[in-house]
Amino acid sequence: MRPTRLSSTGTESVEGNARREWTGRISRKQLLVFIVMLAILLSVRLLTLQFMRTHLNDPGWFQSGSYAVFDRQANAILRGEQHVFWIDDATRTDLAQYPPAFPAWVALIYKLTHQHSAYAVQIVQWLIDLIVAPLLIGGIALTAFGWRTFIATIFLVGLSAILALYAAYPSADLPTTWFILGGNWLLLLAAKRNSVWFALGAGCLLGLACWIRVNPLYLFVGWAFALLIFTKAPRPRRLKMAAAFVCVTLIIISPIVVRNYRTFPDFTPTGGTIGINLWEGLGETELGRNNGFAFGDDKMIERERIQMGLPANARLEAQWPDGIRRDQARTRESISFIKQHPVWYVGVMLGRMWGMLKVAGEPVPYCGTSGINVTSKKTLPAEWQNGVPAILVNVLGMIQSVTRFVFLPLAAVGIYVGFRRDLMTTAILLVTVLYYLGPGTAAHTELRYVLPMHALLTVFAGAAVARLSKRTASPSIS
């Protein structure tokens, strides 16, 4: 017998109405959550963009000197004076300083927008990141730990001061981050599904990231290790995935290596910037400065000018002339000094690690800024300083401030939760985090270099929030 059928006009009708009412209530809650997430993301990003647009000429907020290199190369490409990829002149070691993709990207933006300035690059990259960053970070969170973590992570992405600031920072670091996060997502999918195809995709994106920035070059070692060690698959399958990943990564990177080998007598696979970062990194420290090192390209160039016996008006750049050989000399000098003080240098690296993690309070010197808390005075025009918009912006900034102070504890809890919930997933994500904290701090580094790390720590913080709110969470986000 079916008791509910006996009173179909009664019980079934009541249950049906209750179900429809509950479904409607869930839909409204889902819609409200989406609207709030979107409002926070847009508000923080727009206000931070407004702040940065008024500070692109301030060296304290934007490294216009570094951008000038890309600007010069982009304009040379548009005038037909420089190839997008190939280097004809072996004396132009300055053209190997950075990988070729970002100058070409800047040139493309200049051509399409008809505006040859950092402002054009800023707005184009900001618009792309507005869509791509939540998609990639949220996708990793969803794949790693589920819907609840996805929702919490998107809220944290929207409130993140560091992600908002560098979304409005016209540099190569932002597009590099897109490819690293995309590759990390595919790597995670490859491990979960034992898929060679996803492993190949991860290798493609990592290789492309190295065409923009050289920083993630050796990350392929860590990712290959992760596929070999943490993937739950038979050993032949793990070997096949790791081999496919490594091969496609190296194949995509190889044209730059071959170009440098064919062009320059003093071969360099990476373009010759390791020595600069090592040498200037030692210049960050008191012991280094006491032994002749200095922080800043201008100080390094002035020292080399004296050593080379050049007059004050002679042209001399960090990577020209004879930039590769000079950078090799900087590398040898720096490594020799580090070998004399190995324990001390471990302490230097630990200090840099803290600088890369610290997103609240005063920033660690030489590490760059972790962003701003939006306030009416910083981001709104004068006529809006005393109205309702000002109050709302200040409240949003207060929420950002609280989020920044609890971010690292939340990320630590999230890592613990992740290890208990899914060891493989957590370990794979931590490989990227540890790469930027370990090898990434062996030389001078800045917060903008480690954006992928902060994106993944946001996923872990989202996992912690999801865990802590589990008992009171709505079924709509289960």
pLDDT tens by residue, 398-451 = 999 999 999 999 999 999 999 999 999 999 999 999 999 999 999 999 999 999
Site of tokens 């963009």: 49
Do the domain assignments include residue 365? yes
Range of the domain at 212: 46-471
Q: Residue 17's pLDDT band (boundaries 50, 70, 90)?
A: low
At 378 the pLDDT is: 93
Q: Residue 18: inside a domain, yes or no?
A: no
Going by pLDDT thresholds of 50, 70 and 90, the confidence category of residue 29 is: confident
Residue 41 to residue 163: CA distance in whole angstroms: 11
Q: Kindly state whether residue 101 falls inside one of the protein's structural domains.
A: yes
Whole-angstrom CA distances from 37 to 44, 74, 181, 306 are 11, 37, 21, 56
**So what's the pLDDT on residue 478?**
41
Average pLDDT over residues 105-131: 97
295 domain-assigned: yes
pLDDT at 158 over 70: yes
- Rounded to the nearest angstrom, the gap between the alpha carbon of residue 263 and the centroid of all alpha carbons in its chain is 31
The single-letter DSSP state of residue 341 is S
Looking at residue 14, its pLDDT comes to: 43
Q: Does the residue 340 lie in any domain?
A: yes
| Residue 268: band (very low, low, confident or very high) from pLDDT cuts 50, 70, 90 | confident
- Does the pLDDT value for residue 348 go beyond 70? yes
Could you please report the per-residue DSSP string of 354-396?
HHHH--SSSPPTTS--------HHHHS-GGGTTSHHHHHHHHH
* pLDDT value of position 208: 97
Let me know if residue 100 belongs to a domain.
Answer: yes
Closest CA to 474 of 209, 240, 187, 147: 147
Q: What's at 303, amino acid-wise? A: R
Confidence at residue 300, expressed as pLDDT on a 0 to 100 scale: 93
Of the candidates 337, 347, 378, 457, the residue with the CA atom closest to the CA atom of residue 54: 378
The mean predicted confidence, pLDDT, of the chain is 91
Residue 22 lies in a domain: no
pLDDT at 204: 98
CB-based contact 271:85 (threshold 8 Å): no
Q: What is the largest CA-CA distance in the chain?
A: 103
| Domain count for the chain | 1
Flag whether pLDDT at 476 surpasses 70: no
Tell me whether residue 7 is in a domain.
Answer: no
Which whole number is the average pLDDT over 57-85?
93
Q: Are 462 and 153 in contact (CB under 8 A)?
A: yes
C-alpha to C-alpha distances, 300 to 10, 83, 199, 266, nearest whole angstrom: 86, 29, 42, 21
Q: What is the mean pLDDT of residues 471-476?
A: 52
Q: 180-189, 205-214, 308-317, 402-411: which has the minimum mean pLDDT?
A: 308-317
Mean local confidence (pLDDT), 229-257: 95
pLDDT digit string (tens) for 281-339?
999 999 999 999 999 889 999 999 999 989 888 889 888 898 889 999 999 999 999 99
> What is the distance between the alpha carbons of residues 195 and 242, in angstroms, rounded to a whole number?
10
For the record, the structure tokens of 107 come out as 């040139």
Separation of alpha carbons 124 and 131, rounded Å? 12
16-25, 259-268, 411-420, 443-452: which range is least confident on average? 16-25
Neighbours of 304 (CB within 10 A): 15
- Neighbouring CB atoms inside 10 A of 347's CB total 11
- Specify the pTM: 0.91
Given a contact cutoff of 8 angstroms between Cβ atoms, the answer to whether 370 and 403 are in contact is: no
SS3 state at 310: coil
Which pLDDT value is given to residue 121?
A: 98
Residue 323's pLDDT is: 87
How many angstroms separate the CA atoms of 87 and 66, rounded? 20
- The contacts found for 50-56 with CB under 8 angstroms, 24 or more apart, are 50/379, 50/380, 51/168, 51/372, 51/374, 51/378, 51/379, 52/122, 52/165, 52/168, 52/169, 53/119, 53/122, 53/168, 56/118, 56/119, 56/122, 56/170
Given a cut of 50, whether residue 477 has pLDDT beyond it is no
